[in-house]
Amino acid sequence: MTALLDLGVHALRDAYRRGTLTVQQTIEEVLKRLADAGDDKVWISRATDEALHAAAAALDARRGDIESLPLYGVPFAVKDNIDVAGMTTTAACPGFAYEAKESAEVVARLVAAGAIVVGKTNLDQFATGLVGVRSPYGVPRNPFDPSFVPGGSSSGSAVAVSAGLVSFSLGTDTAGSGRVPAGFNNIVGLKPTPDLFSSKGLVPACKSLDCISVFALSCADADAVLAVAADAQSTPAIGKTFRFGVLRPADAEFFGDTAYAVLYAQSIERLKTLGGTPVEIDYAPFRDAAQLLYSGPWVAERTAAVGDFMESADDKAGIWPTTRQIVLGGRKYSAVDAFEGQYRLTDLKARAFAQMEGLDMLAVPTAGTIYRLADLEREPVLYNSHLGHYTNFVNFFGLSALALPAGFRPDGMPFGITLIGRAMAERALLAFGARWQRVVPLPLGKTVSQLPPPASDPVVVEDRVSIAVVGAHMSGLPLNAQLVELGGRLESAGKTAPVYRFYALPDGPPQRPGMVRVADGDKGGAIDLEVWSLPGDKVGAFLRKIPAPLGLGTVALADGSTVLGFLCESHATGKAHDITALGGWRAYLNASS
């Protein structure tokens, strides 16, 4: 066994299936890497070598069960605010420590699927911070340059994956803690929809916002963990053509980091090559919501979680001074502040969702810059808040998000983007993220691991209904928004079979066409159309928007196939103008202008 062993989830499973690797050999390699890493400040506690060897032996004895154990023999790490049975949970505060009697539900699911807990990882104390330096257990070493912060609060979990010490890890995300460390360590960070992963066994930070998150080297690996950790649903897949929200130049804040600004612009261009159309959004409601997290009554939710402990703890408890300042600062907020904050958030959410209307996702920098450890010594609070500029709002709005590696500054420090989708869009984001990783070839973390084969990439199987449109619902015309708002996606453009008469109906406004199939033997024409698809559960809502005499029926296409599409009742064409010779609605509009 050598340091070249690929610890990727799919790489391990393939080697186990082929019989070229045992779980015992994997654990021996992990232990060697841990020894080579030395005192990297990644771990608060670890499973004993004996316990790891015993777990490996038990799995090797069950090699015949590999197909029923989707994470068979896969080593992983757990952020130390998540319980693992028989191990101490500290939340990076020695005075808070307790031995967990049972594992958090997510951990239990992963272990039942064959995964092996290597240890508990360091974090910003009580998951309060985005920097990774607020811990009495030290600062996990950023694999790309130890003079830079690793990102937090899930610092140890991200470094453990980036440095190739484990296959994946669990973090948490309240304000960006599952995304910022991913960006700073060149790995994938999946932040699921709030409440998708059970929070049972999680030490709360802001209980109403906390999410357990996943760090992995690839989207395919993260998807394998998602499939075990939660019963995930999904919004429709992001298609070959898509619309994505981007920052306006006036809203793009990089805190003086011109290299990150260039990398963000390059990321937008790459998304365009994948079929995307960028749409500038007004970032104000997202930014204003982000500011609520540390300057509004939600600070008091952190106080509710651990404020009493902090106030009663003595000097030996190891409470980080900045963490104490933030958490106990929540005492100043009143019930009135809490209600006013909720009202404010409701308004901002409505405004933000209006900006997202018709978009498949947002694409923002994971962070606007990265700081050195020395920077945080000078400005521990302000610079931490800068790192949440593009992350804090996501859980407020109940969204899903995926942090992806996106390049490197000239000094070698990683840059990442985050794709933000609607609730339950995890698998859609991961499927798209897998496409991104294949066209943006970057190292996986700081390892020699390779992307798993394309057959391992997530695939979203979705129920969509194709509908042919021939009038104002076509791209760029007045009623197209009805399709877009319901998740419509343009699939193709073409013509009908030459068996239709096409009319400009006399009623309105707006003026609209009617297409009627001719009787066998009668002369018809081929009419321009677009085929759009809608999620199956949105077709009813679309039907309710269609006024008589129009409706949906079977439309014959020029290639001999059929599709659901717009047709008109023949009685309504008596006084209509026959425009069949023009061949389509756009041609008619141009001729009429």
Q: Residue 69 and residue 50: Cα distance in Å, rounded?
A: 23
What are residue 493's DSSP bridge partners?
Answer: 530
Q: Cβ(120)–Cβ(87) under 8 Å? A: yes
- Active site (annotated) includes residue 79: yes
Q: What are the b/e assignments for 430-440, b being 16+ CB within 10 Å? A: bbbbbbbbeeb
In the set 103, 135, 153, 533, the catalytic residue is 153
Two structure tokens written together for 186: 């060149």
Residue 23: burial class (beta carbons within 10 Å; 0-12, 13-18, 19+): buried
What are residue 188's DSSP bridge partners?
Answer: 216
Unique residue bearing structure tokens 């069950």: 62
In the set 177, 199, 234, 400, the catalytic residue is 177
Q: What are the b/e assignments for 80-91, b being 16+ CB within 10 Å? A: bbbbbeebebbb
- Active site (annotated) includes residue 177: yes
Q: Is the peptide bond before 570 cis (omega within 30 degrees of 0)?
A: no
Q: Residue 307 and residue 326: Cα distance in Å, rounded?
A: 10
Q: Residue 82 and residue 85: Cα distance in Å, rounded?
A: 10
Using alpha carbons, select from 221, 183, 223 the residue that is nearest to residue 425: 223
- The amino acid present at 245, given as its one-letter code, is G
The three-class DSSP label of residue 60 is: helix
Ramachandran region, residue 237 (left: φ > 0; alpha: ψ -120 to 50; beta: rest): beta
Residue 142: burial class (beta carbons within 10 Å; 0-12, 13-18, 19+): buried
Two structure tokens written together for 142: 């950023």
Question: DSSP assignment of 450-486, as one string?
Answer: -PPPGGGS------EEEEEE-STTSTTSTTHHHHHHT
- Active site (annotated) includes residue 492: no
Residue 96: burial class (beta carbons within 10 Å; 0-12, 13-18, 19+): buried
In the set 79, 120, 349, 446, the catalytic residue is 79
Two structure tokens written together for 518: 């001719």
What are residue 525's DSSP bridge partners?
Answer: 500
> What residues are annotated to the active site?
79, 153, 177
